[in-house]
Structure 1
Amino acid sequence: MNTLPLLTRVLREPASMAAFDAPDWELLLRQAGAADLGATLALLAEEHGVLAALPERVQRRLAWSRTAWERHTQAVRFEVQQVQRALADTGLPLLLLKGTAYVAAGLPAASGRLFSDIDILVPKAALPDVESLLILHGWAAGHHDEYDQRYYREWMHELPPMQHMRRATVIDVHHAILPETAAVRPDPALLRADARALPGVPGLQVLAPCDMVLHSATHLFSEGEYDHGLRDLFDLHRLLCHFGAAEPGFWQALPGRARQLELERPLFYALRYSMELLGTPVPAATVADADGGRPNAALLALMDALFRNALRPFLPGSGSVLAPAGDSLLYIRGNWLRMPPLMLARHLFHKAFLSPGNVKSI
């Protein structure tokens, strides 16, 4: 475990922070800042009873991060209310995804969690009404050219991101969790059918526990962007730990639900790297049942090298000299998983040569 980056070791054993010296804290705070996990450190130190033992300057820094997270959480709750109000006329429940869902449901994964947009899932047939109502209430599509608009509306699993003209908040409206051009397309109707209402909050829903884990795994291991890979892996760790303890039958149901949704491969990777890097306690029977998602030995060796690098906390100038090549391979892989080869070639050519400023935006 000593070969793991410092931040990863702390996420595994938060109490170890009590013994850190000044150089350790300098590195840890830089890694946490780059990974958007500063507030998470503060909450972990408090949860494990070591906050008072930390240097005063570190306590002040962590307190600032915690305050910023608390204000962020308040803003998220307010924004969810505004979105719910805007879409009330659709008659649909507001189904929240990812970080927004963690906050609304009060899950441990919300503790310290920062994110940049509100994610919701609606039926594809409702997209025109949802988009019109959001525009009526102050949201507008971003500055996307004609190609990007077509890319989102014909091929992707979401509308182009919309930003509120006054509050500058961003909403992503999904109709599925993977693009329609992808080889694997989990049926979004299955996700909506099993969604759970939030007690005491009429009209709000989140995905069922297994589906929430599988969506998180799919987002992390199929998208191809890893700027916050360690943070997203820690989300998975906390979701697995929480649901494994709080939901009877969760561990037995998870692999079967992955097979039903054709998400065995993302689940395999999620369990493999959360166990390896964060020590997630997954029952052996679940690991064995999820082994159907294992790639062949050669591919697994390659993915181990790529993911172990991508799931490290990133700092400018840190990491292997081969890290940028690995990042590029994962980016190409993410696009490969989302579209057939000819479409992918056209897409990468367009983004590289016709709109180079947007290469990483799609």
Structure 2
Amino acid sequence: MTPAERDTLLCRLADPEAPAVTVPAEAVDPLLKLARDHNVLPVVTRKLAAQHRTADLEAARSELTLLIGLSLHLRGIAAKVDRYIADRQLEAVIVKGPVFARQIYPTPSDRPFTDIDIMVAPSARAPIGELLTSLGYQLFLKPLLDHTEQNQEEKWIQPSMDALLIEVHGNLVHYQGLRRRISFGYAEFMQSGQGNANAGMPQFFVAVVHAALGHKFHQLRLLVDLLQAFRHLSPDEVTALPEIARQLGLALEARLCLELVAELFDAPGAGVAAGRIAGGSASRLATRLVDGAAVLAAPTAFLSKVRRHSFRGLQRIVPRGAG
């Protein structure tokens, strides 16, 4: 099996809703390594375990049992946070991990998570801190060169078990250089869903910001989140997507994300939606810098890193709303 064939098979296996595909025995362990590199081990293991038994596959299943157990524990903490937010009518919302698993993945265990992310408006920051303190969490600050305030990202840990991490975000765009152009905090989150935090659009734009502004497409899992979030948009939301992307200043990122989803997965609607988002010279350059091959090579290839860092440079200089 060639590397290109293996990459194609990885994308098929990583898609939670793709039909089963026959995998040659000799490809199982190499695919597991790629799945680990791209953080899509849960869904790939689930599909491979239905066909094969290898030592690496059994090790992966044992590893995932522990990870799913951690996710269940964190889900219980997330439920307490949700009740606290609702009872006090705080401008705060849990995003990513537990929400993605519950709302956009047909099999929640395909999307385990290792932390809880809470997005807060300024008025909710102190009350959320009081809750986390009451639950035994402590705000982690580096003794030197701490960037908590600069990045608008607080890390709260349990001293006795630092694996239980909660992150409090004032803005999902952590880098100041990028926030000069684009912001995605609680207000923008609610704007994307027209006031409905449970609509499909907020989850889609959280996935866009996480993949394209929080990270630089360094793992396939970021695009699987995008794939699932796009699939869960209503027809009306798909129609409204270009205008919402324009209003949020995320046209460049949303268009690129959809193009990548269309390239790597069986999601032709994503390509159609991407084409409806206005794109100019910045979008054309972005597509040359970050394509499916760059994403798939991201964990190991230096050229992919150069291309993705060049894309980050483009994001810093392109005018707000330009595509």
Please report the TM-score for the alignment, with normalisation by the length of structure 2: 0.79
Deviation at 1:109, TM superposition (A): 7.4
1:176 aligns with one of 171, 175, 179: 171
What SS is found at the alignment partner of 1:252? Answer: helix
Match of 2:41 among 19, 33, 38: 38
Q: Deviations over 1:311-341 (max 9, x none)?
A: 4473xxxx5xxx225425635754885799x
Match of 2:76 in 1: 78
User: C-alpha distance in 2, partners of 1:116/1:276?
Assistant: 29
2: CA distance, partners of 1:162 / 1:98: 17
Q: CA distance change for structure 1 residues 111 and 176 in 2, over 3 Å: closer, same or farther?
A: same
Instruction: Within 5 Å, give how 1:71-220 maps onto structure 2.
Output: 71-84=69-82, 90-92=88-90, 95-105=93-103, 107-108=105-106, 110-148=108-146, 151-153=147-149, 155-156=150-151, 158-168=152-162, 169-179=164-174, 181-186=179-184, 188-192=186-190, 206-220=197-211
Q: Secondary structure at the match of 1:36?
A: coil
**Which residue does 1:327 correspond to in 2?**
305
Offset of 1:127 from its aligned partner?
A: 1.6
Supply the distance in 2 between the matched residues of 1:223 and 1:102 (Cα, whole angstroms). 16
Aligned-residue Cα RMSD (Å) equals 3.5
Aligned equivalent of 1:308:
293
Given that residues 94 and 117 in structure 2 are in contact (C-alpha distance below 8 angstroms), is that contact kept between their aligned partners in structure 1? Answer: yes
Amino acid at match of 1:330: R
Code of the residue aligned with 2:269 in structure 1: it is V
Alignment partner of 1:279: what SS?
coil
Name the residue aligned to 2:321: none
Please name the residue that 1:56 is paired with.
53
Change in CA separation of 1:209 and 1:84 when aligned onto 2, cut-off 3 Å:
closer
In structure 2, what is the equivalent of residue 346 of structure 1? none
Q: Show CA shifts across 1:107-161 (max 9, x none).
A: 437441133210111211322332233224321122413532xx331x32x3321
Partner of 1:289: 276
Q: Distance in 1 between matches of 2:165 and 2:41?
A: 23
- Counterparts in 2 of 1:98 and 1:128: CA distance versus 1, 3 Å: same
Does the 8 A contact of 1:230 with 1:312 survive in 2? no
Q: CA 1:60/1:299 → structure 2, altered by over 3 Å: closer, same or farther?
A: closer
AA aligned opposite 2:24: F
| Structure 1 gap ranges (5+) | 198-204, 341-362
Moved over 6 A (4+): none
SS, match of residue 161 in structure 1? strand
Tell me which structure has the larger Cα radius of gyration. 1
Amino acid in structure 2 at the alignment position of 1:64 = S
Q: What are the equivalent positions in structure 2 for 1:343-354 lying under 5 Å apart?
A: none
Query: Is this contact kept in 2: 1:121–1:173, CA < 8 A?
Result: yes
Tell me which of the two structures has the higher relative contact order, counting C-alpha pairs closer than 8 angstroms and 6 or more residues apart: 1
Structure 1 pair 338–178 and aligned structure 2 pair: CA distance change class (3 A) = farther
Whole-angstrom distance in 1 between the partners of 2:303 and 2:272: 36
Distance across 1 between alignment mates of 2:64 and 2:81: 26
Partner of 1:351: none
Distance 1:167 1:86, change over 3 A: farther
Q: Give the direction of change, closer, same or farther, for the CA distance of 1:77–1:226 in structure 2 (3 Å limit).
A: same
Contact 1:116 1:170 in 2 (8 A): yes
Distance in 2 of aligned mates of 1:339 and 1:80? 37
User: For the Cα contact (< 8 Å) 2:91–2:123, is it kept in 1?
Assistant: no
1:85 CA displacement = 6.0
**Counterpart Cα distance in 2 of 1:126 and 1:251:** 31
Native 8 Å contact 1:97 1:121 kept in 2: yes
Matched, 1:2 2:5: yes
Cα distance in structure 1, aligned partners of 2:314 and 2:285 = 18
Are the aligned partners of 1:94 and 1:120 in contact in 2 as well (CA < 8 Å)? yes
Q: Residue 15 of structure 1 aligns with which residue?
A: 20
Mark the CA change 1:338 to 1:90 in structure 2 (over 3 Å): closer, same or farther: farther
Matched length: 308
